Amino acid sequence: MVRQQVNELMILKLVKTYCLPRLLYGYEIWPTETLDMHELEVIWNNGFRHIFNCCWRDSVKPLQFFCYSLPLLYLIDERQLMFFSKMEHTDNPILRTLIYLPTVKYEIMGLAAKYGLNGVQCGVSVIKEFVWLCFKQKVQF
């Protein structure tokens, strides 16, 4: 029996393109206190384990690092920061007003501070860079 060659990076690209958006659909408005973020992280990590044929006990963080793919919790934070950044830079005055409500502003500032940002006035590329650097510092080989 001949085993077909598997390109793990291509499979990962397909999963990130087609599965991840469905997993995170509407995450910007999810009530975070009712979510089991650990369960979502397990789903994402098990996907990596399955694609790369890893043992379930092994950490996938080094693998994610070398594939230049963030863990799910980092992805959610990054996308929320980019969402808020886009809201702040929109031409819609209602959306710009919403971002300055005290509860929203407090949440944004807390999330931005977690990654060393002073807010979301910076561009999307800066947000992505800071989130990646934070992950890079915490990953252990």
Query: What is the spatial distance between Cα 118 and Cα 55, in angstroms, rounded to a whole number?
Result: 39
Closest CA to 98 of 28, 6, 26: 28
Tens of pLDDT, residue by residue over 16-42, are 999 999 888 887 777 666 667 888 899
With a threshold of 0.75, does the pTM exceed it?
yes
136 falls in which pLDDT band (50, 70, 90)? very high
Q: Report angle CA 125, 47, 131 to the nearest 5 degrees.
A: 20
**Which two structure tokens, joined as six digits, stand for 135?**
């992950």
